[in-house]
Structure 1
Amino acid sequence: MARIVIIGAGMSGLAVASRLATLGHKVTVCEARDTYGGMVGRYERDGFAFDTGPGLLTLPAVYRDLALKTGREPLEELVRLRPVDPESRHLFPDGTAVSLPNASRGGVVQALDGAFGPGAGERWATVLNHGRTVWEATRRPLLEEPLPADPTALHTDPYPVPGTAPARRGLFGRRRGPRRWTLADVAAEELGGHPGLTALLHEHALRFGLDPRTAPAGATVLPYMEQSFGVWYVEGGLRALADAFFRRCEQRKVEFRFGTPVARVVVEDGRVTGVQTKGDRIDADLVVSSIDARVLHTQWMGPAESSDEWPASASRLHGVPGRVAVLLALRGERPAGTPHRTVVHAADPAAELAGVFDPGVPMDGRPTVQVLRPDDPSLHPAGHEAVVLTATTPSLDLDWGVPGVPEAFADRMLDQVDAAGLGLRERMLWRVVRTPEHTERETGSFFGSVPPPALAGLDGDLLQAPNEDHPGLYLTGGAAHPGGGLARVGMSACIVANLIGPA
């Protein structure tokens, strides 16, 4: 039995703690805040409740596996899951609207043909078929296994660029075309530059903080996964998922020390031997850190002599965008037939991308806004509605601490959704604006950024830090392999638990 200290009680911390305790280890979790869940947070006021992080679950198989491997109850006995159908409704600046069914690629084809004309669905299906090729090539090395000691094979994008030689089975040995394809190239070439289809494709990248102009074509795996495996809602909000696995940790005798920030990771004779909190030292045979890798290396293990000593992914987190969320308490009931998720696309997509990703370019226009409107009476008083708006923004270029900046951006988000006909402002009782500063303060995420998922291509620029970091130290969570997103941090915890093994 090993003594293991886990830094951080976010979802990856809860997941790895429950797995390791089930394997027979003595597990202690140190959490700086007074609660668990990390980015899976909750805001409550006047009988309203809101998820402050992700609001929907993809790849629920990750948490089904966690539930079964750490206890006898299936996930559906821990939380109530229901598929979101339609998966999303998209509103475009020219007035076109399309609702996409959940986990039905054939249904998506029909919906796109109906909205954009015959042939649109076939174009989209071709792109998602290529996304399936990427999924099949990268699923094991990018989601299920530790990052290879030599990740060179993952430096190449497995997206089958038209005109190149057919790929051999698997990730290795694919011949590339004369240049790298980006997601924007896919939109221009395979989607014919159609503005609606382009907006659909780019929105998946933008939501994960990826620039479609530079993201590898293999990022098509993101819409492929969502439309193939479906999107799910946890009744009571995703915070209920964190509640369930916190209880599982308690059942497995995990010790939690809340309000206990770690001041330093103790390294002796080249090996991590514990952590120093502000109160005392906790000795450990192993330490698992779920915090941002760059914070870990620059603040808790002593400053590196050069950025070359940081894990490669950690030195790139500086440029990752953040998210703004507007929590809306609305008077009046949710209108019948309202979709759970609506995406209102920006009128000027090029200006939006420049404002989010190009240094020095102001983000002046109305952004693409995701609107989550769950049909869940537990989230609001009777006769009212709880709504969450989110948009991707620069995490550094906007000074969120300046009075009026967050409110002005929230006004633009509301203007955007109401211009599309949602009519939310007139029903508003109150609102709360949450910026990247909240993310940084509450989760320790560097600069309030949200790490993107790991992807193959770009010479490895989108790979995250390996899970084995230093003798006696393991990394999990969004800033470690296989990257950000609720499903991936669950996979990260599984990989780390398998690396450590049973007591």
Structure 2
Amino acid sequence: MARIAVIGAGMGAMATAARLAVAGHQVTVYERGTTYGGAVGRYEREGFAFDTGPGLLHLPAVYRDLFVKTGKRPLETCVDMVQVNPAVRHVLPHHGIDVTLPGASRGGVAAAMESAFGTGAGERWNAVLGRARDAWDATRRPLLEEPLRPGARRSLGDDPYPALRRSGLLRRRPPTLAEVADRELGGALAELLTGVVRGYGIDPATAPASAAVLPYMEQTFGSWYVRGGMRALATAVYERCLERKVAFVFGAEVREVLVADGRAAGVRLADGGEAAADTVVCGIDPRQLPAGSLPWPSDALPARGDDVPGRITLLLALRGARPATAVHRTVVHAPGTQVTVMRPDDPATRPDEEHEAVTVSAVPGPGTSEPTELLNLAEKAVQGLRERLLWHEVRTPADIEAATGAPGGAVPPPALAGAGGRLLRPANTTALPGLYLAGGWAHPGGGLAHAGMTGALVAGLIVEGAEFRGSQ
């Protein structure tokens, strides 16, 4: 039995802790805040309740596997998880288009596209997502299910999206996602593709075409909501950790990774206390540790990506019942920007049936940097929003940084192939033996599902050693 110290109690860190505890290790999680879940938070006021982090889960199989591998009770007995259908509503007011897409129906999506965007739109959309499927199939295992090994960064730096080639500049370099959208979809339909990717905090103008795997993933595997709010998923993972005898120490900020005999030997806390360990798992962005405390030069890490944005979020308490026709997720598009409006049909989010809780979020930018700008766009999705508004709370990137410690409130996107490896995250192993990286700032990147995948990868590397080839 090894002593393992885990820094942070985010989703990736807890997924790692649960798997290591099942393997027989003594695991202690040190969290700077007062609760678990990292960005998967909850805000409650006057009977209203809001998710302050991710509002939906894609690839639920990641957490199903976690619960199967760590206990007798499957995920479905621990949370009430439902697939969202319709999947999403897109509003493009500057084009006069309002289209709702069904879930788990490729043909239904194509039909809705044809009706909203004109003849051939569904065929063009399915063709793009078909090429995205090829990119997914080509990179799924090395990008998501295997440790990032030497040489993988080079091979994954090539864009796997089989974009249609034309003459000119695009013959000399792979196209960006924005160029693919314009060339293969065109007009308003292109904005749907770029908008989905922009929602992950990725700029379509610089993203590789392989970013099309993100809308492919959503459409293929669906969008899932946990009744009671996504915080309930974090609670279920936390309780699974407790069942496996994982110890949590809250209010314990780690200031340094201790090193002895050339390997990680524990952690030093902000109060000066030390905790010895045989292995250390860093489940936060390593740069949250003070300068000079890293066991390797800071320039030895792949770039964190200081352009990774945070999000601005409005939590809206509305009078009046949620209409029966309301869609759980609506994306309102504007030139170069968008907002996402969440309207869960969940009694746990509101004081009674005569009120509604709505969450509006966006990556700050032109047209979405101020709360009033977000409200203006959200009104396109929620009829009579301002007249119904009782009160609202604003959460800025600075608020997110204060709550989670993430510099600038940054929310890491999933790792992507292409762009010369620029959108890959650091490997789960480090130059210091005994120190591993987990969570959204490590391979395979951010998002609920991707962060959870680090649990299988890091636990496999620790338990099986360098011969571990990946999850099955």
Shorter chain as denominator, the TM-score bin is over 0.9
Among 248, 253, 256, the alignment partner of 1:264 is 256
Q: Aligned to 2:399, which of 438, 441, 454?
A: 438
1:336: how far off?
1.4
- Matched residue type, 1:423: G
Equivalent residue letter for 2:342: L
| Aligned counterpart, 2:362 | 391
Q: Distance in 1 between matches of 2:323 and 2:78?
A: 30
Summarize the alignment of residues 12-411 of structure 1 with structure 2, pairs less than 5 Å apart: 12-93=12-93, 94-151=95-152, 152-163=154-165, 177-191=171-185, 193-195=186-188, 197-279=189-271, 280-296=273-289, 298=291, 300-301=293-294, 304=297, 308-309=299-300, 311-314=301-304, 316=305, 318-346=306-334, 348-349=335-336, 352=337, 368-382=338-352, 383-393=354-364, 409-411=370-372
Q: Within 1, Cα distance between the matches of 2:376 and 2:124?
A: 32
**1:399-435 CA distance string (max 9 Å, x none):** xxxxxxx9x8111111112245622121111100001
- Cα shift at 1:464: 0.2
C-alpha displacement at 1:337, in angstroms? 1.2
Once the two structures are TM-superposed, the CA of residue 178 in structure 1 deviates from its matched residue by 2.4
Residue segments in structure 1 that go unaligned for 5+ positions in a row: 165-175, 353-367, 399-405
Secondary structure of 1:393 counterpart: coil
Structure-2 separation of matches of 1:235 and 1:218:
32
Contact 1:79 1:235 (C-alpha < 8 Å) held by counterparts: yes
Shift in CA distance, 430/464, structure 1 to aligned 2, threshold 3 Å: same
Question: Deviations for 1:338-373, whole angstroms, at most 9, x for unmatched residues?
Answer: 000111111x22xx4xxxxxxxxxxxxxxx111000
Alpha-carbon distance between aligned partners in 2 of 1:161 and 1:87, rounded to the nearest angstrom? 26
Gapped regions of structure 2 (runs ≥ 5): 466-472
| RMSD, aligned CA | 1.9
The TM-score, its normalising length taken from structure 1, stands at: 0.88
Distance 1:101 1:419, change over 3 A: closer
1:162-218, Cα deviation, whole Å (9 max, x unpaired) = 249xxxxxxxxxxx9421111011112111x222x1111111221111110110001
Residue 205 of structure 1 aligns with an amino acid whose one-letter code is V
What is the number of residues matched between the two proteins? Answer: 457
C-alpha change, 1:47 and 1:161, in structure 2 (3 Å) is: same
Using the aligned pairs only, state the percent identity: 54
Q: Quick one: distance in 2 between partners of 1:145 and 1:327?
A: 38
Shift of 1:299: 5.5
Structure 1 residues 369 and 163, CA gap change in structure 2 (3 angstroms) = closer
Alpha-carbon deviations, 1:206-236, whole Å to 9, x = none? 1111110110001000000100110111000
Is the 1:297–1:303 Cα contact (8 Å) retained in structure 2? no
For residues 38 and 382 of structure 2, the distance between their equivalents in structure 1, rounded to whole angstroms, comes to 34
Q: Which moved more, 1:94-103 or 1:17-26?
A: 94-103
Query: Match for residue 487 of structure 1?
Result: 449
* Cα offset, 1:302, TM superposition: 6.5
**Cα distance, 1:270 vs structure 2:** 2.4
Conserved? CA contact 2:339–2:378, under 8 Å: yes
| Structure-1 separation of matches of 2:133 and 2:55 | 25
| TM-score, normalised by the number of residues in structure 2 | 0.93
